[in-house]
Structure 1
Amino acid sequence: MAAALTLHPVRHALPADEDELGELDRSAWSTLHAVLPKPQPPYAPFFGERHRPQDFLVADAATESGGTRIAGYIRLVPPTPLACTAHVRQIQGLVVAGWARRAGVGRTLLRAAFAEARRQGANRMTLRVLGHNAPAQALYASEGFAVEGVLRGELFLEGRYVDDVLMGRPLTP
């Protein structure tokens, strides 16, 4: 476990968080979870038409100087615009800053996402994770997700085929 962090209550992202979230996203890029190439300057805006601030939950950690710093984020959205999936929310991104890893930030964000999804009327949560990302799969499994499907060799990344693992869980108490 990393050194203890003081986390503030998880909150929705604000437009003013764009630069810090963009930097966090770029600094956390890894072949362990990325399906897109490593971002290169000039960087695209973090927020956009399909990536709205209200779709992101943010975990802030206290700094030694008394301020706050974003320790991680989770993106929570409906999986499709169809009415027949209105009861489902999908995690489409979970990032924890390197300095905040192994301190419970990911778990805190997941649990906040469950509460937010329930608040939005959802009763099911899904996600997709790369087959070689064992740490993420273990975290998700420990929070009640089960593997519901595997698309074998679905992605070709860094010169090799990688499975796309579909996971889900109910949101009932």
Structure 2
Amino acid sequence: MPSQFTIRAASDADEGPLGALDRRTWSPLHAVTPRPEPPYPSFFATTGPEDHLVADLTGRGLVGYVRLGRPTELECNAHVRQIHGLAVDERARGIGVARALLEGVCALARGRGARRLTLRVLGPNVPARALYESAGFRVEGVLPEEFWLDGAYVDDVLMGRSLAG
């Protein structure tokens, strides 16, 4: 498989492929919502393409995305952005797509005036936690047993990093 990919801003034309990617990558390891079922909602139903970066694998199409948002709508919190989703297709794992998406979203958040970037990850999602830690994110809090998923209580891990400097 070629390992050449580009990270770019999403466009309206990416909505269908992103929805399909989101459904393919759904997993109880990271999702707190039920598996998507038809009729599928619009991928951009809550945030538009301007809040997404996508990974485009040469000759293969979209293989990843990251969604950037705000943790709250409060003005006193406007200097913080939050990752609201990151997914990489299994066929593109291990070639640096997730890391490139994280670097891109840090730059996007900085460009929007953010001083901090945060995210939430489920406790059992050890691979994602390791990726985030390697990208400079640190655990800043844990909400023990926050979710009941697949017959078990699961911690919600809050992570963040500075974008200043």
Q: TM-score, normalised by structure 1?
A: 0.92
Root mean square deviation, CA, Å: 1.0
User: Per-residue CA shift, 1:39-83, capped at 9, x if unaligned?
Assistant: 1112111111x22111111111101xxxx5011000011111111
Number of equivalent positions: 165
Identity among equivalent pairs (%): 56
Asked if the contact 1:4/1:103 (under 8 Å) is kept, the reply is no
> 1:61 pairs with 52, 57, 60, which one?
57
Q: Does residue 142 in structure 1 map to residue 142 in structure 2?
A: no
Listed as ranges, the gaps of 5+ residues in structure 2 are none
4+ residue runs over 4 A deviation: none
User: Per-residue CA shift, 1:4-54, capped at 9, x if unaligned?
Assistant: 51012x221111101100000000001110100101112111111x22111
Listed as ranges, the gaps of 5+ residues in structure 1 are none
> 1:42 pairs with 39, 42, 51, which one?
39
Secondary structure of the 1:161 match is strand
Q: CA deviation at 1:172?
A: 2.0
Secondary structure of the 2:114 match is coil
> 2:5 pairs with 2, 7, 24, which one?
7
Work out the CA distance in 2 between the residues paired with 1:81 and 1:12: 23
Work out the CA distance in 2 between the residues paired with 1:15 and 1:77: 18
> 1:73 pairs with 47, 60, 65, which one?
65
Q: TM-score, normalised by structure 2?
A: 0.97
Secondary structure of the 1:44 match is coil
